[in-house]
Amino acid sequence: MSNSVILHQTLLYQSKVVNSCANINKGSKKKFQLSTNFRGNRFCVRKLKQAMGKHQHGFVIPCAVLTTNAPSEELSRKFNLEGNIELQVVVSSSALGAAQVDIQVSNSNGSLVLHWGIVHDRQGWVLPSRSPDGTKAYKNRALRTPFVKSGSGSFLRIEVDDPAAQAIEFLILDESQNKWFKNNGENFHIKLQVKDKIVQQVSVPEELVQIQAYLRWERKGKQTYTPEQEKEEFEAARCELLEEVARGTSLQDLRARLTNKTSTTEVKEPTVYETKTITDELVQIQAFIRWEKAGKPNYSPEQQLMEFEEARKDLLSELEKGASLDEIRKKIAKGELQTKVAKQMKTKEYFHVQGIQRKKRDFTKLINRNVVENIVEQYIDSPKTLTVIQSYAKEREEYDGSLVLSKKIHKLADGDLLVLVTKDDDKTKVHLATDSKVPVTFHWALSRTPGGGEWLVPPASALPPGSVIMKEAAETPFKAGSSSHPSYEVQTLDVEVEDDTFKGMPFVILSGGKWIKNNGSNFYIEFGGKKQIQKDFGDAKGTAKTLLDKIAELESEAQKSFMHRFNIASDLIDEAKNAGQLGLAGILVWMRFMATRQLIWNKNYNVKPREISQAQDRLTDLLQDLYTSYPQYRELVRMIMSTVGRGGEGDVGQRIRDEILVIQRKNDCKGGMMEEWHQKLHNNTSPDDVVICQALIDYINNDFDIGVYWKTLNDNGITKERLLSYDRAIHSEPNFRRDQKEGLLRDLGNYMRTLKAVHSGADLESAITNCMGYKSEGQGFMVGVKINPVSGLPSDFPELLQLVMENIENKNVEPLLEGLLEARQELQPSLHKSQSRLKDLLFLDVALDSAVRTAVERGYEELNNAGPEKIMYFISMVLENLALSSDDNEDLIYCLKGWNVALSMCKSKDAHWALYAKSVLDRTRLALTNKAESYQQILQPSAEYLGSLLGVDRWAIEIFTEEMIRAGSAASLSTLLNRLDPVLRKTANLGSWQVISPVETVGYVEVVDELLAVQNKSYERPTILVVRSVKGEEEIPDGAVAVLTPDMPDVLSHVSVRARNSKVCFATCFDPNILADLQANKGKLLRLKPSSADVVYSEVKESELIDDKSNLLQENGSGTPISLVKKQFIGRYAVSSDEFTGETVGAKSRNISYLKGKVPSWIGIPTSVALPFGVFEHVLSDKSNQAVAEKVHVLKKKLTEGDFSALKEIRETVLKLNAPSQLVEELKVKMKSSGMPWPGDEGEQRWEQAWKAIKKVWGSKWNERAYFSTRKVKLDHDFLSMAVLVQEVVNADYAFVIHTTNPSSGDSSEIYAEVVKGLGETLVGAYPGRALSFICKKHDLNSPQVLGYPSKPIGLFIRRSIIFRSDSNGEDLEGYAGAGLYDSVPMDEEDKVVLDYSSDKLIIDGSFRQSILSSIAGAGSAIEELYGSPQDIEGVIRDGKVYVVQTRPQM
């Protein structure tokens, strides 16, 4: 075999191969000191860390020692310990010559310990070098090893490979009773087999081991191995060859078989170099040293081979000078070996001094607008006919009423079999039923070990009537009919088990003389009560119900193995695709439950790894095709793939969060230190967690010695102060019970691999290797393997990934984040092309995404003392990562562009940088909220329904969506925003409050989730509402004296105006700590004292409330009802603006008519006509609308009786009105004569659109908000009349609302205004986000002062059109402002556009902004001067010109 191949082996263990073979069989892992291989174009040597607290040993060359003896049993002895407790000892020898001692204790309690030692010539006990896991030395004179519980007994296996050992002596200790078992007062003395003389010492050549490892890898389906698995496979291959040699196969025959040559093939004579005794490990180390001295260059494959040969020559040169191998080894260790190598310069395109050089990119090219509409209604489930057994099961559950532990329906040849397990009064009840027409007999037993491998005869108390005891089982016939349900033709059987030590019930069915099994295996009923079947979750609304029902039916098959689950998922993919977004959401939920171990991974089924790999390939191939063909589902497909993963265990980074929950629940350690660590892991996992995990393992292994825990932490740089410094501090020390030891060691050991995979980049490294390809010379033991690189990637992509891996453990995470994001950006074009290996690229992208999250969490500490510029840069990087993983990412991209503008402003010391950054922060928060709500809507209903069907733990269902959000970058982004927010508020002098309505008041604190949910409530005592969500269109409920919220409605939104009009204190609180304190005051009586920028609150006595009430009554008077004069039809269907009077139209129309010709010419006033008061009632009374009128009458009566559902029905009924021909003609004439376009000129359909808009305005008299508002002030709703103001829509660039007296401060010397992009509905309606706000002194209209930049993500734009505005007689009344209660409806639907403020002149052009804002302020000043009183004005900007569309007195 060539030197170049030999040199790529992984270095050998520091122990005898005999020992390592035995350890592999037990699943233990040894650490390699060093591995060398080539990654891409790079010579990579990975130095693996030694176990913590251990010294590194020198290199040892192992020699495999074999004996030719076949395994043979030497001794078997039995002892009676006490009563029915028996001891059996069996001594045998393994194929490798070690003595194997099996010790079995029957009928034991499971807390036994073996106290033992080895005997040499009876000169006292000798402690062997090898012992089973969990063994501890006792006073350096004996070993103590715990037995393993096995069925009703305990078992222990000891292997002794000491040639001098003649016997093993021991005692047995029952720890629970502190009782010793001896052999008639003496030690148990068991002779060991005296081994035959070792006949030969054989070393299997490494190249043969490598070939055998490769063949094993092929047999297992060419899986992608972790480095640890790679090492295990290498040693397993060595053991297989050693066993062949032990059976008599010669090395020559072995070589011939492995190299496909006959035994007579001529073997090539070794070269002069090969006859020398230079070991491969020394060559590898020397090659590494040469590579380091050369500056770690990127060698070509040919150069790599040359370097290995040069390294060998260096060492041979030392040998020729007379040096021994030990002397050469010492020279290498001290760095004294002379090496001639020229240092080569590195040229890295991406790298610069500060980090990785990012390419400049147009982020708009990353925008995806793949939105799925109507997600709830997109899939309608067809009614499902229940089978006889399904119907029976449903009624049986309702009849029984007990706690359901599990429910399954198995398919039999001629019917179904129901197995229903319930728990009642500490009894486990098993109810069976079948609709089989043939008599059925139940052949069954009980088992104390999970899984059903054990068959125990049931106790007499559990045997139903008619049972017959068999050997290790019982047989019970089903009884025909059902006494409790005679309508069902079923056979039934009930079994009750009182003994809670039984874990399950294995069984088979005897029917018609034939045995019926569960797909070749025994049936098994698990009694475990950990999971309770939830009741069906409603009607499964918002889910693909039929698909989820099918998944639930197939789960018993799926839990057999990953192969079964993946194949079933593949079979269901087409159905899921046809169900649309909700179908794929169902698959995701199912796979996620699997990945979080809520579902069984393997149950009584042996499957080959190759078969799992094939099933997984099939599923991921289908997902790859979905990703290509259905771009609107790409985010869901990515999430499914990350859950499935390349190895069936999902996204390794997310498993850090998932598995700690599993560890806590499986081992009953939910509080204390473990809960604090869990919180830290969820918030910011870091490399510290590897050390913490190791410290816990060491603490448990060392008899729960807390000193060992702190030693491991301190040795690795983690002090108590550091634990307390985490965002989620760890205050407590571990405190476990002894019975938790075995489970915790197992689970923490597995968890350590997950932590290391993330924090060492191993998962990312394997994804990279899979895409970049293995070199033909192989990697580790993968000799001869060639996996080609994915084609079509950028030429410099491998170098970029190399830089990423070089920085993967860097404490300064900034260059790592830059590299990861640059890699994702470079990968994007390839992800949108169809190719056979797309899934490899997708898995790489998922791994890069996961690495970003991990790096950011690791970087929190780095940001503790960072300035705002660095935090903003981190925010921009995390936001970029989130956008790259999202389907509908337009809003995220514009947020990202906004952060880049904010960074630029910060660097240039722009005075407004913090104010602008605050608006981008607010918008980013809104985007995260929208994403969370979208996930909640898409995923949670499926999680609730499927989780209830599968018996998933309730806690896992409840946090399902929350954990899915945490799995992405959104949680990290939210954390960073929370860090930056107070910094921006302080810099921009924003304070902790924005006061919208500054009213001093006293009230009792009430905490509510949404204002919308309580707007119709009437509080009996003065109430201060602390509300999480305020949209902007709600009413203030009766009895509420204040509304305090973290939400940010516009100062001029409807709810803000209502609050000021009603003299209710209304304010936004930006500080979460203040908000939390207010919430903690729930039920207490507080006084609020608001100023223009702050709210001071304090607890007060009841007497102050009485005084406050008296003052309030004096201010508000007696609360007399507001009366209206009913308006009559004037005989005309339409009037022009010069005909607007108090009898024909409302104040809105009259005011706009009044402005025309009176305001300065630079202010535009749109042309208007109106449908006057009384037209609606007249149209309703028209003969053609008789049926509509009758229905409205019935519904109004229903409404007076308190049935408020009639409101919606009335609005829908009004839409059915027909237009009298005279109305159409009169409106046409008035509009045309006023110079307005007539919709009918564009076709009948256009007129129908206009007519529908008019009816919507009339119908808005019965919208909920308006109706309840009029009820509160006792306004007679029947007397409310609705005129309709008709105006041509100005297609606005911007819209504004002006209050000519500052509403927050009451300062009449300054104008307050808000501006939005597009139409004004986003300002006055319930559209999230803030408008641009500014004030302007009336004496200096050219100096507007911006108070806040816009954060509204959506703008409304419309084609040239007509708008129909509500104009009732119930607006702008004395003591009641009804403005904004009723609807204005454009003839055409507005287009919703996601806004990019980074290119908006109003934001980025200071001169343009000053000009526009001054014009708005000037218009407000002119109109206030015209009326002589403060005004509330609405208008728009088009091409720089101001248009005023309405004005009313400011209330």
Residue 710: closest CA among 50, 53, 1401, 15: 53
- Find out whether 762 and 756 touch, Cβ atoms under 8 Å: yes
- Find out whether 875 and 903 touch, Cβ atoms under 8 Å: no
The residue assigned the tokens 């088992």 is 447
Contacts of 1202 (CB under 8 A, 6+ apart): none
Please count the other Cβ atoms lying within 10 Å of the Cβ belonging to residue 1402: 19
Angle between helix axes 562-578 and 545-558 (nearest 10 degrees) is 170
User: Which residues, listed in sequence order, are joined to residue 1160 by a DSSP beta bridge?
Assistant: none
Active-site residue, selected from the candidate residues 1054, 1178, 1277, 1339: 1054
The residue assigned the tokens 């009413």 is 1035
C-alpha dist (Å) from residue 803 to 81, 347, 1233: 65, 12, 73
Angle between helix axes 581-595 and 545-558 (nearest 10 degrees) is 30
Which alpha helices (H) appear in 1260-1372, and where do they start and end?
1264-1272, 1321-1324
- Find out whether 612 and 566 touch, Cβ atoms under 8 Å: yes
The residue assigned the tokens 């059987």 is 493
Cα gap 1294→1419, rounded to integer Å = 15
**Which secondary-structure segment (H or E) carries 444?**
strand 440-444
Cα gap 1247→1364, rounded to integer Å = 13
C-alpha dist (Å) from residue 719 to 260, 531, 679, 712: 59, 40, 19, 10
- Find out whether 551 and 589 touch, Cβ atoms under 8 Å: no
Tokens read off for 375: 């997600």
Give the CA-trace dihedral at 854, 856, 861, 866, to 10 degrees.
170
User: Which residues, listed in sequence order, are joined to residue 97 by a DSSP beta bridge?
Assistant: none
The phi, psi pair for 970, rounded to 5°, reads -60, -40
Residue 976: closest CA among 1028, 1074, 899, 1046: 899
- Find out whether 1040 and 1062 touch, Cβ atoms under 8 Å: no
Collapsed DSSP state (helix, strand, coil) of residue 1083: coil
The residue assigned the tokens 């009980």 is 446
The residue assigned the tokens 């025994």 is 522
The per-residue b/e assignment along 925-949, b for 16 or more CB within 10 angstroms, e otherwise, is bbbbeebbebbbebbbbbbbbbbbb
Burial class (CB in 10 A: 0-12, 13-18, 19+), 1265: buried
Instruction: Tell me if residue 1054 is catalytic.
Output: yes
- Find out whether 1041 and 1002 touch, Cβ atoms under 8 Å: yes
The phi, psi pair for 361, rounded to 5°, reads -135, 150
Contacts of 353 (CB under 8 A, 6+ apart): none
Strands 1018-1029 and 1038-1045 turn out to be parallel
For the chain, how far is it from start to end, CA to CA, in angstroms?
Answer: 94
- Find out whether 1087 and 1100 touch, Cβ atoms under 8 Å: yes
Collapsed DSSP state (helix, strand, coil) of residue 164: coil
Tokens read off for 862: 């780095």
What positions carry a catalytic annotation?
1054
